[in-house]
Chains A and B, each alone.
Chain A
């Protein structure tokens, strides 16, 4: 079964935004929008769900904090509570201020790195990944909206022509 999509290409982000709104209003399903740079408000216009990566990052930070605290507690207090320069290694809280720089850094380290890795995994980015670019111009100065084709092909093409597209193509997507 062939799966046809429409590629509407724009050369201005304001026109793109209007087109996205018009497409949504006409109840056409936007599959994807390719832009050379972040277009402010595009996700809202497309109705994309907000990201949860900040929540993930917060949780990773908590993990980092726990790792640091338990590491310092085990190494400095439990395993070998040496007297190093008179520092009170009787209990964790006695020597806590000395551990804070480590706890802080590991919190940030875990929060940052795990969040970045989460981002790569969720957006399927890795080295040697084949680029999924439908039109090379979209990395330079053109904007491309991919819309699933339903119903009359003629109607839809003229609809996108009217939204200010500089080019409208019907593509067979495999």
Chain B
């Protein structure tokens, strides 16, 4: 039996306490009024005037075209802009409408319609209000990203675990208890996540713009999606998905423990069928969940392979987490039968799924970049304009470094190499989720500061606490698994 070392427990509590303090600090220092924002903007960037000027210009243009619907205005703006700038690259050409769109999100009726020659003051107020919403979203979005990231890590491990059962893998049964320990975070993680979703549904924050009836009233595109994007249905879906995943986790863990003391393989067979059924349920619900929880922060945008893309991102993070926990327990001498071949296999998965993630990332990006249809390419334009470093930096972290580090067979067996590559992968995929959520919620006001880091620390502490507590609950080697002997002697 594994005992939770008191040092690690203290470490987890310190992380949680620090995180909580930071999260509270983030919420308390978020601006309350437009006046606060004005002060922040004046203090932080005097060069900010340029941005405002661009915004004003695009507003004037918008008013001049005098179309009722801003989506149409956006498309027209793209056309007129690209006509003006013949030799400019497409990214820059479509930048202005993006700002435009963002402003429109918070447009009030009186602002949206023909106020040619509106005074600069009103425009300025509107800009401030827009920034206010973004800054108020910031601590919420930071919390949301960290929460969904850690929850999905445990979901990724659960999916990996189910695949190992369904595939009757001969190498991994010695790691089942480690995986079960990590998936124990799913229950607390999904409860906190669900509470966050409810908070959004109760309009405590403005993460999901389609939840705001004021916005929907003036947005025909969202109106067309109300049949799917409405708060009650959204929450019911989330509840079903989370409950389904938790149920599988609960049952498979129960069967796995029962198999230890069984006289036959009936629990093993039950788990096999359960895993196969879960995988079918999972791939459907995961896809819908990614539309709900991530894609719907940009309700004007859609992508068909998004579910797979999100899946690849948290799947590789989950596998990396398995490798980390395994290496930690192994270094403390708790996993007698885990050898470098098991680590090698995990590292191969980290390598392969990293490449798979890149393939999906690139497929999604390149198809939209190539066709350059205004209503879908804005997604990437906002990211390239405002998130250049995180957007391309994660590509280095999630693809270039793993492929160069983990391609070598000997390296995949070295603890420090796997740990180093794993840190890069986990950092990269946190930034990946950051890139998916932040541009739609805080826009160009993003920063990886107190709120973001504290949220990460809090959930990291909670994760460590829950996972290592669960690891103490059962022996770290499954006893009567039919494949355990093969797994003990696994050698590659």
Chain A contacts to B: CB under 8 angstroms: 54, 58, 86, 88, 90, 94, 97-98, 100
- Asked if A86 contacts B372 (CB within 8 A), the reply is yes
- Asked if A90 contacts B370 (CB within 8 A), the reply is no
- Asked if B90 contacts A86 (CB within 8 A), the reply is yes
The docked-state distance in angstroms from the alpha carbon of A132 to that of B7 is 65
**Chain B residues whose CB sits within 8 angstroms of the CB of A98 once the complex forms:** 366, 370
- Asked if A97 contacts B366 (CB within 8 A), the reply is yes
The docked-state distance in angstroms from the alpha carbon of A97 to that of B368 is 11
For chain B, what secondary structure do more than half of its interface residues adopt (helix, strand, loop), or is it mixed? helix
- Asked if A97 contacts B89 (CB within 8 A), the reply is no
Q: How far is the CB of A71 from chain B (nearest CB, A)?
A: 19
The docked-state distance in angstroms from the alpha carbon of A100 to that of B90 is 19
Q: How far is the CB of B342 from chain A (nearest CB, A)?
A: 19
Residue B369 at the chain A interface, CB threshold 8 Å: yes
Residues 352 to 394 of chain B near chain A (Cβ within 8 Å):
362, 365-366, 369-370, 372
- Asked if A100 contacts B372 (CB within 8 A), the reply is no
A-B interface pairs (CB < 8 A), number: 18
Q: How far is the CB of B267 from chain A (nearest CB, A)?
A: 33
- Asked if A58 contacts B407 (CB within 8 A), the reply is yes
The docked-state distance in angstroms from the alpha carbon of A54 to that of B87 is 45
For chain A, what secondary structure do more than half of its interface residues adopt (helix, strand, loop), or is it mixed? helix
The docked-state distance in angstroms from the alpha carbon of A58 to that of B87 is 39
**Chain B residues whose CB sits within 8 angstroms of the CB of A54 once the complex forms:** 409
Partner of B365, one of A58, A86, A90, A97: A97
- Asked if B90 contacts A97 (CB within 8 A), the reply is no
**Chain B residues whose CB sits within 8 angstroms of the CB of A100 once the complex forms:** 362, 366
9 new A-B contacts at CB < 8 Å, known A54-B409, A97-B366:
A86-B90, A86-B372, A88-B89, A88-B90, A90-B87, A90-B89, A97-B365, A97-B370, A100-B362
The docked-state distance in angstroms from the alpha carbon of A98 to that of B89 is 15
Q: How far is the CB of A106 from chain B (nearest CB, A)?
A: 16
CB-CB nearest 9 A-B residue pairs: A97-B366, A88-B89, A97-B369, A94-B89, A88-B90, A98-B370, A100-B362, A100-B366, A90-B89
Q: How far is the CB of B454 from chain A (nearest CB, A)?
A: 36
**Chain B residues whose CB sits within 8 angstroms of the CB of A97 once the complex forms:** 362, 365-366, 369-370
Interface extent on B, as a size class? 10 to 19
Residue picked from A54, A58, A88, A100, most chain B C-beta under 10 Å:
A88
Closest to B88 in A: A88
The docked-state distance in angstroms from the alpha carbon of A90 to that of B366 is 18
The docked-state distance in angstroms from the alpha carbon of A90 to that of B365 is 20
The docked-state distance in angstroms from the alpha carbon of A159 to that of B445 is 81
The docked-state distance in angstroms from the alpha carbon of A86 to that of B87 is 10
A selection of 18 A-B contacts at a CB cut-off of 8 Å is A54-B409, A58-B407, A86-B90, A86-B372, A88-B89, A88-B90, A90-B87, A90-B89, A94-B89, A97-B362, A97-B365, A97-B366, A97-B369, A97-B370, A98-B366, A98-B370, A100-B362, A100-B366
**Chain A residues whose CB sits within 8 angstroms of the CB of B409 once the complex forms:** 54
Residues 100 to 150 of chain B near chain A (Cβ within 8 Å):
none
Closest to B90 in A: A88
Closest to B407 in A: A58
Interface readout for B402-419 with A: 1 if CB under 8 Å, 0 if not?
A: 000001010000000000
Closest to A98 in B: B370
**Chain A residues whose CB sits within 8 angstroms of the CB of B365 once the complex forms:** 97
The docked-state distance in angstroms from the alpha carbon of A126 to that of B365 is 45
Q: How far is the CB of A115 from chain B (nearest CB, A)?
A: 14
**Chain A residues whose CB sits within 8 angstroms of the CB of B372 once the complex forms:** 86
The docked-state distance in angstroms from the alpha carbon of A14 to that of B218 is 77
The docked-state distance in angstroms from the alpha carbon of A58 to that of B407 is 9
**Chain B residues whose CB sits within 8 angstroms of the CB of A86 once the complex forms:** 90, 372
The docked-state distance in angstroms from the alpha carbon of A54 to that of B410 is 12
The docked-state distance in angstroms from the alpha carbon of A66 to that of B372 is 28
Residues 435 to 472 of chain B near chain A (Cβ within 8 Å):
none
**Chain A residues whose CB sits within 8 angstroms of the CB of B90 once the complex forms:** 86, 88
The docked-state distance in angstroms from the alpha carbon of A54 to that of B407 is 10
**Chain B residues whose CB sits within 8 angstroms of the CB of A90 once the complex forms:** 87, 89
Q: How far is the CB of A84 from chain B (nearest CB, A)?
A: 12
Closest to A58 in B: B407
Q: How far is the CB of B397 from chain A (nearest CB, A)?
A: 19
The docked-state distance in angstroms from the alpha carbon of A100 to that of B362 is 9
Interface readout for B131-174 with A: 1 if CB under 8 Å, 0 if not?
A: 00000000000000000000000000000000000000000000
